[in-house]
Structure 1
Amino acid sequence: LRPMLVFLSAHAVASTLPTKAKARRELDYRARNDLCAIAAAVELVHAASLVHDDVMDGASQRRHQPTIVGQTGNSAAVLLGDLLFTRAYALAARCRSTLPARRIAAAATRLCEGELRQQAAVGCWGMSRHFYRSLLLQKTGALCRVSSQLGGWRAGGSRQQVQCLARFGSQLGLAFQIHDDWLDYWGTEQVGKTLGTDLAQSKPTLPLIRLLETVSADERRALITQLEAGGPDDLAAVRAALARSQAAEYTLTAALACSQRAQQQLASLPSSAAKDCLIAVAEYSVQREV
C-alpha cells in the first residue's frame, strides 16, 4: 500500500505539470531513484512495525503465513524488526535531499509513540473516541501520510497539492485501521491473520468503545467487570453483547466516512489515471476482507 501511495501521488501531481516540467522533474532519472528509495523505506518501516506488532500480540499468522515470532521466537523477531528499521533509514538517506529521511524518521517516531500510548491504555475502558482517533493517526495515519506527501513533493507538486495528498494519506490510514479493528472482531479466515487479539489483550478499539458508550450504566459496569476478569466465559459474554449492539455497523460507517474524506482531499487534482487509482485505494480500504 505505502509504496503504491508514493508512486501514485507522484504521478497524480506530475499529470498537472507542463510537458517540459514533467520531463525535467517527474521523469528525471534522479527523481525516479529518489521515489524508489522513499517507497522502499516506508515499506521497510511498515514491515518492521508488523514484526514488532506480532511480538506484542503473540500472533502466529499474518497474511496466511506463519509469523517470524511464531517460527523463531521473540528475540529473533525483535532483532529483525530493528534491522528493517535501520535499512529503511539507510535507503532514505540516499535521496538527494535530507527531507525524505527526516520525514520518514518523524513518521516512524509517531508510529512508535502511538504504540506506546496504546500499550499504556490497555485496560482503560473509558477511552474516548477522540483519544482512539489520535492513536490511529500516529499508528497508521503517519506512514500513509508521509508516503503520499513525499510522493507529491518529489514529483514537483505545489505546496497545496502536497498538503492535500498528506491529508489524503492521514484519512486513508484512519479508514484502513478502523476497518482493521472491525475485522479483528468480525473478520473471517480470509483475513489471513490471528483474530480476536484486541479483546484478548484488553485493547479498547472503536467497536468496544462504541458499545460501552451506548449501554446503560448497569450494563457498562457489568461489561467492565467481565473485561477486567478476562476469562473465556467473560470475554464470550462481551462478544455476545457486541453482536447484539450496533457497534459493527457504527465502526464500518466510521471507516467509510474516513474513506470519503480521503477522496475529498483529491478534488483539487485534475483527472488522471493515477488519481483514479488513489480513489480506488480509498474505496478498497473499507471493502476488503484481508
Structure 2
Amino acid sequence: MTPIPRTEEIGTVEEGPLAAVLAALARDDPSGVVAALDGQLHHGRPGSPAALRQQVGERLATALAEQSGRAARWIDALATSPSPTARQVACLLLASRYPEDPVGVLRTAELLADDPHWEVREAAGGLLGSLLDRDFDRIRGRLEVLRHTKSENLRRAVVLAVKYAARRDKPERVADLLRLLEPLLRDPEPYVRRNLGPSTIGDALLRVDPKETLKALKEWSRDRDQTVRWNVAMAFSSAIGSFHWPAAKSILERLAKGPEPLVRNAVAKAMRRSRQRYTEEVEETRLRWRKDDERAATAELVGPPKKR
C-alpha cells in the first residue's frame, strides 16, 4: 500500500515545493523545476522526497501529454541535468514518451540505469520494468543483450526490470522471465546477485507463479556453479520464499551438503527464515543434519532457535 504523502513534504498548489514546481511548469522552465526539487532536504542532502518526485512526474506527464516537442525538450533537460533528482523525474516521464519514441526512450533509460547515483539507477530499473511490461517481446530482446554487458549496473537493471514486470495477472510470462535471468545466476558481483535470488526470484517470481519458479529452482540447485546455488538458496530466504518450505526442503537438503561457505551460509539463512513459519519442521531437519557428516557444518550455521 502506497503511503499517503505528507503535506509538509510536498506542499500544496498554493505554497511550498509543489507550488514552486507548478509555477516553473507554467513558465515552461525545466531549470525552475529542478531548483524547486533540489531546494528540499532528502536524507540530509539537497534533494526531494519520493512523494514529491512522484507528484511532479505525474503532473508533468499530464501537462506535456499532448505536446510531443515540448515533452521531448523537458525530458532531455531533466535526463541530462546534473541534479540526480531531475534525472529521477525524467525516468517517470520517459515511460509515457515510449509510444512516440521507443528507440530514444530505451537509449535514455539505459544511460540512466548506469547512472553514478544509486537512486537514479533504482528509478531507471523501475522504468525498464514498466517498458518490459508494456512491450514485452521487444524489451526482453534488448535485456537479453544488456545481461551480458560489462557494466554491473546494467546487468542489475535487467534483474530489476524482471522484478517490476512480474505481475500476478500475467503468470504466463514467468517462464520467459526465468530464462532471461538464467545467465545472470552466475554473475559474481554482489550488487547483481543481492537483487536476484532473494529479491527478484524469491519475492517476485515465486509470488507470481510458484510452480514454474520452483521447477526452475530445483533444476538450478544441481548446477556446479556455487553462485547459481547461492541464488537458489537465497530465494527461500525471502518473505515469499519462506512460505515454500515444503517444496524448498528437498532443495535445501541437497544444497546443505555443498562444501562452499557461500552456499552453506545461504542455506542457513533460508532455514532460519523458514523456521519462523515452519518452526517444528525446520528444527527437526536441523537436528537431523547435525548427525549427518555432510550437513553438520550447515546445521551449525543455522543454529538453535532464539529464545523468546
Same fold by TM-score greater than 0.5: no
* Rg comparison, structure with higher value: 2
Q: Which has the higher helix share?
A: 1
Q: Which has the higher contact order (CA 8 A, sep 6+)?
A: 1
TM-score, normalised via structure 1 length: 0.25
